[in-house]
Structure 1
Amino acid sequence: MKEAKKAFHEQVAENLIEQLKKGVAPWQKPWKPGDLLTILPMNPTSGKRYRGINSLNLMGRAYTDPRWLTYKQAVSLGAQVRKGEKSTLVQYWKFTEEHIKKDDSGNPVLNSEGKPIKEQVRLERPRVFYAAVFNAEQVDNLPELDIKAPDWDPLERAEQILQASNAVIRHGEADNAFYRPSTDSIHLPHKHQFPTPDRYYATALHELGHWTGHESRLSRDLSHPFGSEGYGREELRAEIASMLLSGELGIGHDPGQHVAYVNSWIKALQEDPTEIFRAAADAEKIQDYVLALSQQQEIGQKIAQEVNAQEVIKMDQIKQNTATYLQNLSPDLATIASHNIKLLNDLTQDMPNKDQDAIILVADALKFLRGGGIDNLEFEEIAEGKLGFRIPADWNGQIQVQGNAIQTDENGIESVVSAHSQNTEPQFWGVYMQRDNQTFQWVKDCESKQEAQDLTNLLVLIDVAAEKNEHEKAAKLAHIHENRIRNDPNTTDVSILGAKTEQNDENAREYLIVPYTEKDLAKAAGARWDKTARAWYVGSEADIQTLQRWLPENVANQQEPAIDPHVEFAELLRANSCLVDGNHPVMDGSKHRIKVIGDKSGEKSGFYVAHLDGHPAGYFKNNRTGIETRWKAKGYSLTDEQKAELIAHAAIKQQNRKAEQHAQQIKVADALQELLAIAPVAGPDHPYLLDKHARPGDLRIVPQNVHDLPTDSIIKIGQNWQEVRLLREENPDSIVLTAGDLLLAVQDIHGQIWSAQTIQPSGAKLFAAGSKKENNFHVAGNAGQGLDAAINKLPAIVIAEGYATADTLSQGLNYPVIAAFDSGNLPTVAQDLHHKYPHKPIVIAGDDDYHLESTLGKNPGKEKALEAASLVDGVAVFPVFAPGERDSKKLNDFNDLANKSALGIEAVKRQVGSVVEKVSQLAKQDSLLKLQVPIEPKQREIKQKRALVK
């Protein structure tokens, strides 16, 4: 039986594999400047060179003449293919086809001359065609090859390309050449270390090929470590591109440095013959990109004056549009907008003209982008033209500056890491912009912290200038103005200085030991009372000299009582199976929870209240055993001095604990962001999603391993619960997750990720150990847009507890819904969102935990939802089921209503949708009244009451 003919891609791949084994593949052959090999395969009739896989296929044939043509083309030139010569196939694709244009009746449309009009129609499925071509050495009577000297000096053009790229090229740091993706820089030996100048430029252009792979350029995958298959694939692309560039410029080609990759190339082509097609196509893109650099520079120089003139016209047009915009606003809103313009001018007046122009032009483009007036690419090009780097089109306005350092692992692989995580001084500062998917994209490295801060200030002003909501813009501008005053050490604004002391992180407070009898003296000297810590501290306008006497180091040690009340109460707690650590016991008269022996992760079954006032006393209950104890100190009272000293030391201890906790939360957040960046996207077939009829949205899946995470990551991944338990025992300071669990990003109102919730197939939910859940949330149904973009489009902010419930509501309402994770987090999340979006009404879609009323005597879902609604002047709504369903099926949330009730998703739409419509209408009326009624006497203020919907 005759063997089936192999496909074209298999034939090409097999041929190149054999050449690779022999070391004679096209990109393995060295050549010097002026060699015939430097001329790439071309068609003498069209004058065009063959590209991609066709170029490699033809170069792989045993001919030195670069000319290739079809039989008919040879005849047209008066030449003849010799009898018996075998052709070589080339492949080309047809993406469009010429058709005769027809009208609605199917008749041909004619032009003025009465001939049918033809149009190009894009084919639904591109077609592949093949042509048989012959090399000039296979053809008789073909004119001799005429090799013309290039119109350029090859080395000068190579240097021009390097200069036009603006790539960071560092010389002399090592004896080898490489591109470092982490710093986006090329590293080369000094030019004099190369045998010849053309060898230097060939090497530099090879590394420039790798440089094009950065995400801000051609965006190839450069994350693979040295020696991996992925690294070999990238090297294949760069080597083929290097050969093409050398041929185009005529500077020679030296492949000797890359023989180590041959085996990986062979393996890649054997496993997937089409890999060489993709590599050749990518190599052509690299060559086109690099050659375009010098062309762009030439064109740029010619049109620079035209661009400047256009920008002047554009600036005038923006000013005219602003004036028209102000005229069309209501008087109140026009006043706010005018104030915003003035404040923005004040903030930018000391900046260079170049930066002022950049703010106006980039912000204007950002407005058009967000309004759909221009596409992503056009915006990014405008930003790059004015700033020198591209702003991601889905930037949500958040910016992060991080001090970085270069870390080298045991394999010699270098990577950029946070200097803080390595406890070292930063070598440079990276500026990152957050995208709508909550990931941060690097945009620029700065040599100094001040340079990074200046760039951040510029970007913040661009975001503000692009804000269309004048109220939101006013809030942002006020925040920038306040921060500038705070950061100015010469400011005389007392109120801002006071705010600086209060807000400059409570961790910076300096506590005092002030006896009760001396509190008035301390207060007169500027001491202030911390209501939370119940202790005195140095205020913003304090007389430090007078307060010296009450500093802890200056207070003479008082004679201790027989037993310190802290020690005595701590012993009581230990005797009742409590795990006393950290700040415990906190004896401030407030309620506190504490872990007891037998508690699982996250549980705190112990409860106590203790105080130091008068005669120290307290109360403790172990909710696991039911044992409760009332305590009084052993027969003595503390003096005012002893009490003040204990309180001050407790406040300092708590302050230090908070600082440690915050540092740990930042460390955990950094690790989780790295995990979310590499975690695979969740599919709809996850058991929990199927059970809850929930969409995967932007959820992720815990990956199978940590191979793609930094080697020093605190993330560990187990395959099952036994492996997870063992990993937790062996790595108590690590975050241990189970492969395959759902992964939800937990963010704050600024888009910063602070934690991640995992959901097992069974529905069990956990938060990453050491992370911050409080005040944070997840946005269900957000479709990749930023928080501001999502909220501004909503008629009202709807907040639910868990993800599944929030997603059900999102499906029913057809817009994003906030998941606060549990009832205890509802009030703080609602308050934060209300503070940031005061113009948006808030609806709390609560759980009705009626089944807990009989066992615990309370309904936490309902109680917390009502509390949250009252704190933000919002509305609480709870699911209403069909008669008898709630008790028989133990249904309590809107997910149950949609999926387990006979009423279904339509009931969700009706019950919640009607409430949203009511509160949004009330909010609109309220807004109109506020615009119409002067804000004068308080009694004329109009308040809209929102009814509780049960």
Structure 2
Amino acid sequence: MSNEQLKHKTYLAVGYDDRAQAQQEIGRLNNGVAAISFDGEQGLWYAKAGTDKRKVEPWLPDPNMMKQNSDIDPLLEFNHVLETAGFLLEEPPMMDGQIHRVATQDDKRGQKSGVYAVFNDGHPVGWYQDHRNHNEPQKWHASFEQADPTARLHQKAHMANIRYLREQSLNQKQQHHAKRCAQLYRQLPTANSGQGYLNRKGVQAYPGVCQDKKGRLVIPLYDTEQNIHSLQRISPNGFKCLKKGAQKSGHFFVVGDRPLNANEPILYAEGYSTAASIAEATGRSVVMTVDAGNMPKVAEKISAKYPNARHLFLADNDHKNQINKGVQKARESANLVGGHWLTPKFSTEQIQHGLTDFNDLQISSSVVRVKKQIEGYIERCWPELKYQKPERLQPPLNSITPVSSTLKAITTQQQETVIEQVKTPEAELKTKPDNPTQPPKSNPKQPEQETSKMPMPKHLYMRYTSANGKSYFPNRNSAALAFIDKGNKLQTRLEHSKIILDLLAIAEHRGWQQIKLKGSQNFKREAWLQAKIKGMEVTGYKPQPLDYQRLTQQGINIDKQSHQTQAVKPQAQPTTSPPKQQATTQAKSQSALERFKQRFTPQNSIAKSRFAPSKEAHYEHQLER
């Protein structure tokens, strides 16, 4: 029977004079490697996993050797430290190794900016931090000292083992949460551009931002290899929260339409709205670090990924706080990677109103001013990088390669999103002539009616402009193509909810009661939802359970079976519904439309397009009759 072996790394109480004896007694592992090694960072010897536990036992830290020689109660001592730091304690601190949040003197009602944790394992140690005043956790340990060097050695090894096991447990929990976050994120739909927080901040939902069933934005936080570790949720009222237990430190989200490019300056900002305002103004992608404290850690990771890149940290100017953490961390990050940092320039009146970041600058002034400040600073820091509008990346082409080398290579055409009207049996019968040998009789009044009918609702002419009646641009930005009208087909590359709503309004205006969707999942998902709200029949998209939940939240009930029945191709023989049934269906459609109008009031402008391609054939999303 084999002896019991250590399952993990274990620190030992081996003194300097005993190291040779310990190496000789413990010996080597089965593979011939020495069973113990020295950890220079901890200043301790440790036994490796797989070491014979019986040989290690004489060198394990002994709790009986750790005696406290002090008349001071560690609990009272730590309580005094927290109160001196401004913590408002309603009860004595809990020395259970868990993180606890408490209010501080500077907090408003309901806020808890203070946090602490204490570990009472022989020698009480811990940390505390006031997020308003402390940049880093403040370490604490009980004030007593062991006079006996042997007792100190055993205590040091014991605490090292406690920390190691705690770190291993924390890593396992974080890996579990990372897996759960990735699974959840893949099931969420794309964020609606009309979400309350986005409207209030005046920014759009960039690729990668999703929305949950409670209407909260969901932003993934990942590493440099695109592995998701945590999620940030932002409620319509602006409340932000992170996934409990998941790892935020060193992880980030890239706001923009393009991946990071080492040949261009890499921009950093704290929150999503600030990063989105900068991306909108400059056309560059921006690294969102969540908060100022995480900025140096993210900068270090990205600098290791792109060692030759230039870095610019766009800080929040927290001038109203005692410690300007935004500026302090931006300066620290710039010094760490050899970059530069910048804060927005406000007028005296704007500063008095408490404006701090570039999103505040956009709302109070304009996007042009944000661009002027940032691009002007980039040109001063790196004169060789005189501003040029970054090229927009086209969505990748789908392709099919042959399985056998004898087959010809087949390349698929670029993916298009199509909303195509499905012809009903009644329409097919009406278009079929009674006598196939003779052309159908023409109605001289019909061309006049079709000519006089406007191709889209009147209110959309206030939003878009077109020189040829085919390509439509937003009135406020004539360089950004919104959609293309081909008569029986409407095309767009965008996935914005406002564009989708306008395309569906055109389809409804033209009497398209049944439509077909093709293209990206995000576009089809949003178009299916909005079309169902309007009471239209939809094919080309298979809704998921979460889609039905979103539909139910809008006051429309439809089960999966009924949707599948509607998606089936109509039979050749038309069927007529009784008058009562037709009236009921029409009433339901009108009721759904009224609810839609109440919840989604059309805006007078649309978000600026992130794509401006030169060829019409490249537009990805389409509405087709």
TM-score by length of 2: 0.48
Greater share of helix: 1
Of the two structures, which has the highest relative contact order with CA contacts closer than 8 Å and spacing of 6 or more? Answer: 2
* TM-score after normalising by structure 1: 0.33
